[in-house]
Amino acid sequence: RRVLFRSEAITKQILRLDPANYTANLRLAYVSRLQKKFDAAEAILNGMLVLYPTDISLLTELGLIKLAKDNRAEAKRLFNDVVILDPENVTAKAQLSKL
């Protein structure tokens, strides 16, 4: 748990200097999801998807958040989009098999 908070603090420091930093935003969204801060994580990802609308990592993470928020239809749509972009994506295929 301490590692998550440390990671969150580091990514926030980076984002103060570079608000559009891809890696820091993706990591902050991931850490936020693990902390069950789903709305915050979703907001981060939606902002980044404006810049990178077909990014597989961002779409996958958003799909996992939609699942955590029990929005199965939107999660399924996102994972289908990921599979179209990356037919061998293990995470998307695994999640689709559960939906």
Q: What pTM value is reported for the model? A: 0.89
pLDDT attached to residue 94: 98
pLDDT attached to residue 4: 60
Residue 81 CA: distances (Å) to CA of 56, 76, 78, 93? 9, 9, 5, 11
d(CA 80, CA 51): 20
**Alpha helical stretches, state H, the chain:** 2-17, 22-34, 38-51, 56-68, 72-85, 90-98
Kindly state the average pLDDT of the residues 77-92.
98
Is pLDDT above 80 for 50? yes
Four-CA torsion 61, 24, 54, 40, nearest 10 degrees: 50
User: What confidence tier does 80 reach under pLDDT thresholds 50, 70, 90?
Assistant: very high
DSSP string covering 34-49, please? HTT-HHHHHHHHHHHH
The per-residue pLDDT for range 6-28, each reduced to its tens digit, is 778 888 889 999 999 999 999 99
Contact 40, 52 (CB under 8 A): no
The per-residue pLDDT for range 65-76, each reduced to its tens digit, is 999 999 999 999
Phi and psi of 54, rounded to 5°? -115, 20
